[in-house]
Amino acid sequence: MRLVPTGAPPNIQVMDHGAPAGSVRVANEVIASIAAMAAREVDGVAGLDEANARHFGDWIKRETAHRGVRVLLDGERRIHLEVFLTVDSNAVLREVAERVQDNVIEAVQRMLGLEVVEVNVFVSSIAFAG
């Protein structure tokens, strides 16, 4: 423990943090949940398409999709995301996709402090008002 430099009230103390006591790991499901939440916040997104995010080769490559988001980590621990959307029929797809990319990158990097290299957006279905 060390005292705060002069000019601060004398009764305030600051704790020094030593070396980390262990490691922190974040499950792909958590990364996917954050990305899914951020994507749903964008106007024009009707939902995420969980069914189309999964495909047959997943079990061979040991990759999975959670909540409509596929999470891939490269050798440098950077995050690559694929987001599968259902978009409202009156939305401009390109604009929605760009806003989803921006919102997902910002949310994942802010909450996890890890670099998001890319967010690929797949509009896999359209929600028509009915």
What pLDDT score does 113 carry?
87
SS3 of 35, please? helix
Between 49-63, 64-78, 89-103, 116-130, the lowest mean confidence (pLDDT) is in 49-63
For all residues of the chain together, what is the average pLDDT? 82
> What amino acid is encoded at 60 in this protein?
I
Would residue 13 count as lying in a domain? no
Would residue 123 count as lying in a domain? yes
CA 62 to chain centre: 20
Domain that holds residue 111: 23-127
The 10s digit of each residue's pLDDT in 34-58 is 999 999 999 999 999 877 766 644 5
The 10s digit of each residue's pLDDT in 5-27 is 455 455 555 666 667 778 878 88
Domain total of the chain: 1
Between the ranges 11-15, 52-56, 66-70, 100-104, where is the mean pLDDT highest?
100-104
Would residue 14 count as lying in a domain? no
Would residue 73 count as lying in a domain? yes
Q: Looking at the chain, list the stretches that DSSP marks H as alpha helix, in order from N- to C-terminal side.
A: 28-40, 50-53, 58-61, 93-112
Would residue 66 count as lying in a domain? yes
SS3 of 84, please? strand
